[in-house]
Amino acid sequence: MSEKKKYIDLFAGCGGLSLGLFNSGHWKGKFAVEKSPDAFKTLEYNLIENNNHFDWPNWLPKSNHDINKVIKNYPKQLKELRNKIDLVAGGPPCQGFSTAGRRVENDNRNRLIISYIKFIRLVQPKVIFFENVKGFTQQFDRNKIRGRVYSEYVQKELKKSSKVKDFEGYNVYGELVDFSEFGIPQKRTRFILVGIRKDIAKDKSPKDFFDLIKSNRTEFLSKKGISLISTLEDAISDLLRINEIQSPDFKNFKEGLYNPIQSHYQRLLKGGLKGPLPDSHRFSNHSELTKERFKFILKYAERNKTVSKEIKQRFNLKKHTVIPLDGKLPTPTITTLPDDYVHYCEPRIFTVREYARIQSFNDWYEFKGKYTTGGKQRTKEVPRYSQIGNAIPPLFGEQSALVLNQLISN
């Protein structure tokens, strides 16, 4: 294989996209920028300490970082990376754009788009891979006044040439992509933007990325031994609560053991992993009342849709979203809140490992930090469920990595 191409992962989270790039075999990380110490610990453990996936520069501490501080403190070092970085991957946090949230246009997190563009102009990678929620393409409404469509804004800014000599900007193109059409057991639609630096574009178009990833997916998934469409059962039926032990790390909790593999998807993600105990497969301690409520919901509620007003009133449920899932279909988009969903055949919520399977993380990938958090800490901490819920599915990341390599290599 030829020398691996170099990339930087921005807003890297726990490393979902970096894991996909690693699994492709064609890419080597330079460094990753992630603000949360919790999420960075997971990325660090799996891809820095255990797999030596990053050639981390001496000038940047190997720690969690805020992108604005990196830009402010290391502009000279970032400029020196020009013509040495093939790809900058990753997109800013999505909460301010998400239709699942309040969609506040002046949310400070939306300003990270400006930071992202500054970073791109400093480093000038050959290609850009940018991901964000569907709401990124939708207009904000401010008291009936048409607000900014951020997908249009970022494309316009990336197309611009800058004051830097010989830098002409990027040819860019974006589409909404449903990951369930690429082997992921989850209907998760995201905005994907690809940019190719104008001076190297020549006969290449960023639209080629979307044509190639669609035309390549059947062969890719076939080589992986899995189908184009994966279901929830395909993902987690070997993790049912059949055999369990006292948790070695949490004395008041039980953890599940592996059951026999039931699908090719499970075989792919488990890989050659030995040992009976999956990482982060700790069961929640539901009360008997909660379990009875879940049993009723599983028996009478429509699957893959939030429960009816009647059921909410029956059990005095205040939560906006409670969705019993269908094992025979991909799940709806999973969020950072595990109690939004009821397991397809057991009266409980998902474990962290089941969440990771739905997002296509390999079983060897271990998660660090708290399982959940609440109250004021929700804005400060990124526990394991949130790390996974925020991630790009690594299996889609791997497919993207192969196509991006193909675009540059050609």
User: 241 in helix, strand or coil?
Assistant: coil
* CA–CA separation, 67 and 119 (whole Å): 8
**For residue range 319-341, what is the model confidence (pLDDT) as tens digits?**
999 999 999 999 999 999 999 99
pLDDT tens for residues 78-91? 999 999 999 999 88
Of 64, 18, 12, the closest CA to residue 38 belongs to 64
pLDDT of res. 156:
83
**Helices 207-224 and 394-409 meet at what angle, rounded to 10?**
120
β-sheet bridge partners, residue 173: 194
Question: What average pLDDT is seen over the chain?
Answer: 90
- Report how far residue 90's alpha carbon sits from residue 190's, in angstroms, rounded to the nearest whole number: 12
Tell whether 364 and 255 lie within a shared domain.
yes
| One domain, residues 146 and 216 | yes
Computed on alpha carbons and rounded to an integer, the radius of gyration of the chain in Å comes to 21
Same domain assignment for residues 24 and 159: yes
pLDDT at 146: 39
CB-CB neighbours of 32 under 10 Å: 30
Expressed as residue numbers, the domain containing 79 is: 5-225+393-409
Total tally of structural domains belonging to the chain: 2
Do 18 and 72 lie in a common domain? yes
Q: What residues are labeled active site?
A: 94
| 298 and 366 both lie in a single domain | yes
CATH number at residue 181: 3.40.50.150
Residues 244 and 331 in one domain: yes
Question: β-pairing, 127-133 with 189-197?
Answer: antiparallel
* Confidence at residue 404, expressed as pLDDT on a 0 to 100 scale: 97
In one-letter notation, the amino acid at residue 175 is E
Is the C-alpha dihedral spanning 53, 370, 391, 170 positive or negative?
negative
Amino acid letter at 314?
Answer: R
pLDDT for the residue numbered 202: 81
CATH number of 379's domain: 3.90.120
Q: Which letter, b or e, does each residue of 199-212 get, where b requires 16 or more Cβ atoms within 10 Å of its Cβ?
A: eebeeeebebbbeb
pLDDT digits (tens, 9 = 90+) for 305-318: 999 999 999 999 98
Same domain for 278 and 161 = no
Residue 165 and residue 99 share a domain: yes
Select from 13, 31, 17 the least CA-distant residue to 78.
Answer: 31
The reply to whether 29 and 144 lie within a common domain is yes
Same domain, 220 and 339: no
Are the CB atoms for 109 and 96 separated by under 8 Å?
yes
pLDDT score, position 159: 80
Same domain, 261 and 195: no
What distances in angstroms separate CA 97 from CA 318, 390, 404, one per listed residue?
Answer: 25, 13, 26
Q: Give the residue ranges of the chain where pLDDT is below 50.
A: 96-105, 107, 140-147
Identify whether residues 85 and 216 lie together within a single domain. Answer: yes
Residues 69, 92: Cα–Cα separation, whole Å: 15
Question: What's residue 157's pLDDT?
Answer: 81
